[in-house]
């Protein structure tokens, strides 16, 4: 990098912020646990769009949205990414409501490995020897955990592949993070309103007019959806996808701990071993990244 060239912005703060919010998301879902998963995802989409539009207005990014809508390929890619994130939300909310907290956690433990696979195969990213050791360690731990959860493995795999593919699409589409999220939310709005209307007309009625507290909790889901997804989209565009994947171990680790402390799930030896493997792998990965940064900052000796 030359002296006059601005350094590339880091996406790490945004990645950490997104994964911390997602890690604690099961606590929020306890507030809306009486809302059917399908209905809740519908309302979640409905209330995400106003949040996005408010931020777009504040940042003056409506021209960027108009420009993106003129790009047919970008709109098609955002349509695919919108479908993927909707599937991800639906499976995740249903899993938490059914008490399958570890299955949800395992999905986001598998997700970084899928990120690394996509990053190396599709984006041609390269890992160092130490990073491959970290990947192997994490894979061993996750394989042991998955072997003990075969009945719910479909939940974990759906979460892992849907979110990894979502991130890959968002990384490649030439649309800014906020305009892209706004377009995704708009694409999903009509189906979401249809779901909300169907529940409203059903005999059990809509959860949204059940009580003021529940209605406000549902509306708050829009903010909890838009903000971390916006941070993730920024991080995905700024960071190597493989590195972003390893940062993601933070979210399922928080969910894992919540499963033990809040949801009262039993800790088995295989789960403890998996947890140790993954965090040792993360430590190796971070150590290698820091070593590379220190080496890059060392002045090159002149002749």
Which residue is associated with the tokens 């593919």?
165
Which of 76 and 240 is assigned the larger pLDDT?
76
Instruction: Look over the chain and give the mean of its residue pLDDT values, rounded to a whole number.
Output: 84
Is the predicted pLDDT of residue 94 greater than 70, yes or no? yes
pLDDT in tens, 117-176: 788 888 787 878 887 888 888 888 878 877 776 778 888 889 989 988 998 898 888 888
Q: Can you tell me the distance from the alpha carbon of 78 to that of 6, in angstroms, rounded to the nearest whole number?
A: 30
Q: For residue 123, what is the DSSP state? A: S
Residue 296 has a pLDDT of: 66
pLDDT tens per residue across span 247-290: 877 888 888 788 888 877 777 777 778 778 877 887 887 787 77
**pLDDT tens by residue, 15-56:** 899 999 988 998 998 889 899 999 999 999 999 999 999 999
- Residues 221 and 28: beta-carbon distance below 8 Å: yes
The pLDDT assigned to 63 comes to: 94
0.85 surpassed by pTM: no
pLDDT (average), residues 175-196: 92
For 298, half-sphere exposure in the C-beta direction (CA atoms, 13 angstrom radius) is: 8
Q: How many residues does the chain have?
A: 303
What does 172-236 look like in DSSP terms, one character per residue? HSSS-HHHHHHHHHHHHHHHHHHHHHHHHHSTT--GGGS-HHHHHHHHHHHHHHHHHHHHHHHHH
């Amino acid at each position: 990098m030359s002296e006059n060239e601005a350094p590339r912005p880091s996406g790490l703060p945004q990645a950490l912020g997104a994964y911390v919010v997602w890690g604690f998301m099961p606590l929020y879902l306890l507030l809306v646990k009486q809302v059917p998963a399908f209905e809740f995802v519908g309302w979640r989409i409905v209330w995400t769009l106003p949040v996005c539009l408010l931020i777009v207005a504040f940042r003056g990014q409506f021209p960027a949205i108009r420009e993106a809508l003129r790009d047919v390929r970008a709109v098609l890619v955002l349509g695919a990414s919108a479908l993927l994130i909707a599937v991800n939300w639906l499976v995740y909310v249903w899993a938490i409501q059914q008490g399958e907290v570890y299955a949800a956690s395992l999905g986001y433990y598998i997700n970084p490995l899928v990120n690394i696979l996509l990053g190396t195969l599709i984006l041609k990213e390269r890992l160092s020897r130490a990073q491959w050791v970290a990947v192997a360690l994490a894979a061993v731990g996750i394989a042991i955990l998955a072997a003990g959860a075969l009945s719910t493995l479909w939940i974990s795999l759906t979460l892992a592949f849907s979110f990894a593919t979502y991130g890959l699409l968002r990384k490649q589409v030439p649309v800014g993070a906020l305009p892209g999220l706004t377009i995704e939310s708009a694409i999903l709005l009509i189906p979401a309103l249809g779901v909300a209307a169907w529940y409203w007309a059903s005999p059990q009625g809509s959860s949204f007019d059940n009580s003021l507290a529940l209605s406000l909790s549902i509306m708050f889901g829009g903010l909890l959806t838009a903000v971390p997804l916006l941070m993730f989209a920024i991080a995905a565009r700024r960071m190597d996808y493989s590195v972003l994947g390893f940062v993601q171990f933070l979210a399922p680790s928080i969910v894992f701990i919540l499963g033990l402390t809040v949801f009262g799930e039993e800790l088995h030896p295989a789960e403890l071993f998996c947890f140790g493997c993954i965090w040792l792998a993360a430590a190796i990965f971070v150590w290698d990244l820091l070593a590379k940064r220190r080496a890059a900052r060392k002045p090159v000796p002149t002749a």
